């Protein structure tokens, strides 16, 4: 059965239609309006009580259940939340009603109404409404007569009172490439869009300068509640276009250099320790930080106790907010590692299910087999899977992701074990993406899943891992033998070529691959196993291939640690002289040479193929080609290669921009290479000029 994602309006409608009645037919005037006579202990007590328990609610309407030992006493049964009364549906000794849940604490109790209008009340429970009552800002972009039209008419009122929206306020990002001119529906003259503009719809004259242009919409309802959404349009060659928001990633991701951070290895509190090293990361050339899990947890980070809180040793929320602001000031975006597939078995919701069984309000928050046992993957018995068939779970998780975007301005997420949610509820991720991108359209959404599976690029993610088709199997693991002295250059090169070309698998045409030498799951650090020379060649490979490269904690220093076991802060002092500068130079070349961060590349026929691998990087139309040569052998080599006709411009005086050397190449002569070395060759600037 194919499941369709629920938007906020559909979610509310689904919640209303349960137990054969709707909220509209069940609601009656409040208790104060009915002015009944309350008799706590009537002569023929019904024994009415609520079987539902105290709970969090990730919905605005929740089914409340109860029972009676003597239902004949009751002419009618109601469920009150002090502000509204819902009539319950009766079935023998049991009853249920759909009850409005407002944000915050909702005292709930059941009422048995006797024939003489006397009332008998049940003990009270409290349902804590976790959602925020607010409108939803929605921007519909289009193009007409050379103008960009942004329309806010599809914005939705709040889900409880349906208060009309009274104000639409538009603004632009100060970082946009150029000033745009705008005309609102209420004004007839074009004006520079530098301050806020009001009106349900605006028309924008696309500027001449190419780039991405971001515009936000804040809607305010009659109760003063508000919500903000954002969108962007693209100008290319002076022409505006509307991106494919469901599949296209923001431009900054194409040039991203990600640094993986294990917060506890930086120091405690980690937020301050990481902030202390921001200047070093900016100097290295890093453009995004991926923080290992910082949510409240009882281990490394993947057994979450609270999605809305930070772990104690990381620091306060104010310190996290300051860290993000400081990173942004240095041009570094911040990505959170998020864990939506499962919680810890110590999570309060799961512990409640262990204590109360099926009577727990969270029993259905967890995925279960035919026997009612919770499910989990591998040997992760301490990580129970969440049940994404439950609309409350889906809403809870989207709210959790959104919270860190709205309140802290995070720039994206590495989504742990997203393959698990795919298996159980494959239509969730597109719904999730649309909501997050509605809030901040230039988020980077990274799947911890194989880039060989096209699903992720069609269903919510901007990039995926450099894995084989097997979960968690690093593609590059097969290339390197266990020890540096055992490296077989010919076998390494052949395996690399097969992997990079996709082998028996073919990549999605829009696949953006997240590449790494080290991460939290690769075990012993690469340089520890394979030594410095091979690490240098592999790092050159990492930073010259298409995709999103990741430098992991202290790679640039050659430090050794075990991500899941070591807790003592590490030194960032170089263990290998010049290794940091080597990383810095490769990163600088990747950022400053457009061909090195394009998606286009081509393997070349290089001899000796048992020692050296070569490929060309280039732009559309085979423009600005760059030649990359990698010697994986411990022997020196003289390299010959046959350039395709499209790359004949790579002859004459070439610049090895990695080693600061000039190379004369006429298309047939050899190029010398040292053992375990790399060359990055471009056209000599003086000659080409």
| From the candidate CATH numbers 3.20.20.140, 2.30.40.10, 3.40.50.970, 2.60.40.10, the one assigned to the domain spanning 140-243 | 2.60.40.10
Beta-carbon-side half-sphere exposure of residue 111 (alpha carbons within 13 Å): 25
Fold type of domain 252-340+391-592 = TIM Barrel (3.20.20)
Cα dihedral 202, 204, 210, 213 in deg (nearest 10): -20
Q: What pLDDT, on a 0 to 100 scale, did the predictor assign at position 426?
A: 98
Q: Do domains 140-243 and 597-688 have the same CATH topology?
A: yes
Residue 339 CB burial class (10 angstroms; 0-12, 13-18, ≥19): buried
Contacts of 413 (CB under 8 A, 6+ apart): 335, 336, 337, 338, 401, 443, 444, 445, 446
Mean pLDDT by 10 residues, the chain (689 residues): 40 34 37 40 75 96 96 94 91 96 97 91 97 98 95 98 97 93 64 80 94 98 98 96 96 97 97 98 98 95 97 97 98 98 98 97 98 97 98 98 98 98 98 98 98 96 93 82 64 84 72 96 92 96 97 97 94 96 98 96 93 95 95 95 86 94 88 97 63
Could you tell me the two tokens for 351?
A: 């512990």
With 0.85 as the threshold, say if the pTM is over it. yes
Which CATH architecture does the domain made up of 8-129 adopt? Answer: Sandwich (2.60)
Report domain extents, the chain.
8-129, 140-243, 252-340+391-592, 342-385, 597-688
Question: 597-688 maps to which CATH number?
Answer: 2.60.40.1180
Q: What is the DSSP string of 440-507?
A: -TT-EEEEEEETT-THHHHTT-SEEE-B-SSTT-BGGGGTS-SSGGG--HHHHHHHHHHHHTTTTS--
Helices (H), 277-347: 278-284, 317-329
CB atoms within 10 A of CB 149: 16
pLDDT at 688: 39
């Amino acid at each position: 059965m194919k499941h369709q994602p629920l938007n906020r309006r559909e979610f509310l409608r689904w919640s209303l239609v349960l137990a054969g009645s709707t909220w509209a037919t069940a609601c009656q005037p409040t208790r104060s309006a009915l002015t009944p006579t309350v008799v706590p202990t009537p002569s023929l007590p019904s024994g009415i009580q609520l079987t539902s328990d105290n709970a969090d609610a990730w919905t605005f309407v929740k089914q409340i259940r109860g029972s009676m030992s003597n239902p004949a006493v009751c002419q009618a049964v109601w469920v009150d939340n002090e502000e509204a009364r819902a009539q319950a549906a009766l079935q023998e000794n049991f009853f249920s009603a759909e009850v409005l849940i407002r944000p915050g604490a909702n005292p709930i109790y059941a009422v048995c109404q006797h024939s003489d209008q006397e009332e008998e009340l049940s003990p009270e429970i409290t349902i804590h409404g976790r959602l925020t009552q607010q409108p939803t800002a929605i921007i519909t972009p289009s193009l007409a007569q050379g103008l960009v039209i942004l329309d806010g008419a599809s914005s939705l009122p709040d889900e409880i009172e349906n208060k009309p929206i009274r104000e639409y306020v538009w603004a632009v990002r100060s970082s946009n490439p150029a000033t745009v001119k705008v005309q609102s529906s209420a004004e007839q003259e074009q004006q520079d869009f530098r301050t806020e503009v009001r009106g349900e719809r605006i028309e924008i004259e696309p500027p001449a300068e190419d780039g991405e242009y971001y515009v936000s919409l804040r809607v305010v309802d009659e109760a003063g509640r508000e919500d903000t959404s954002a969108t962007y349009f693209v100008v290319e060659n002076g022409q505006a276009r509307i991106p494919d928001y469901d599949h296209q990633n923001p431009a900054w991701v194409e040039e991203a250099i990600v640094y993986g951070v294990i917060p506890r290895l930086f120091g405690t509190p980690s937020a301050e320790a990481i902030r202390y090293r921001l200047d070093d990361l900016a100097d290295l050339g890093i453009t995004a930080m991926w923080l290992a899990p910082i949510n409240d947890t009882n281990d490394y980070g993947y057994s979450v106790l609270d999605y809305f809180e930070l772990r104690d040793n990381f620091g306060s929320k104010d310190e996290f907010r300051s860290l993000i602001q400081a990173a942004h000031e240095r041009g570094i975006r911040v990505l959170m590692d998020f864990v939506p597939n499962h919680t810890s078995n110590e999570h309060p919701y799961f512990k409640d299910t262990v204590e109360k069984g099926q009577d727990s309000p969270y029993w259905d928050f967890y995925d279960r087999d035919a026997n009612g046992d919770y499910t989990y993957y591998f040997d992760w018995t301490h990580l129970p899977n969440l049940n994404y068939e439950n609309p409350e779970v889906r809403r809870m998780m989207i709210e959790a992701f959104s919270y860190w975007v709205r309140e802290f301005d995070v720039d994206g997420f590495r989504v742990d074990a997203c393959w698990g949610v795919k298996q159980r509820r494959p239509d969730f991720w597109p719904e999730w993406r649309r909501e997050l991108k509605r809030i901040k359209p230039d988020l980077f959404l990274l799947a911890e899943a194989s880039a060989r599976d096209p699903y992720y690029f069609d269903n919510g993610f901007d990039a995926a891992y450099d894995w084989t088709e097997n979960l968690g199997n690093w593609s590059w693991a097969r290339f390197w033998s266990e020890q540096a002295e055992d490296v077989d250059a010919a076998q390494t090169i052949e395996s690399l070529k097969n992997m990079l070309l996709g082998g028996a698998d073919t990549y999605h045409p829009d696949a953006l691959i997240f590449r790494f030498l080290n991460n939290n799951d690769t075990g012993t650090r690469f340089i520890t196993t394979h030594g410095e020379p091979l690490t240098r060649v592999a790092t050159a490979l990492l930073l010259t291939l298409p995709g999103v490269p990741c430098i992991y904690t202290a790679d640039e220093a050659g430090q050794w640690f075990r991500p899941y076991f070591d807790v003592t802060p590490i030194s960032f002092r170089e263990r290998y002289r010049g290794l940091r500068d080597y990383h810095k130079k490769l990163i600088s070349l990747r950022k400053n040479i457009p061909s090195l961060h394009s998606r286009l590349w081509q393997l070349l026929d290089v001899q000796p193929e048992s020692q050296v691998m070569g490929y060309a990087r280039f732009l559309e139309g085979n423009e600005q080609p760059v030649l990359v040569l990698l010697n994986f052998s411990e022997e020196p080599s003289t390299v010959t290669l046959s350039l395709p006709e499209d790359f004949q411009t790579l002859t004459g005086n070439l610049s090895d921009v990695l080693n600061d050397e000039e190379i004369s190449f006429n298309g047939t002569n050899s190029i010398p290479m040292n053992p375990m070395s790399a060359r990055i060759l471009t056209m000599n600037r003086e000659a080409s000029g």
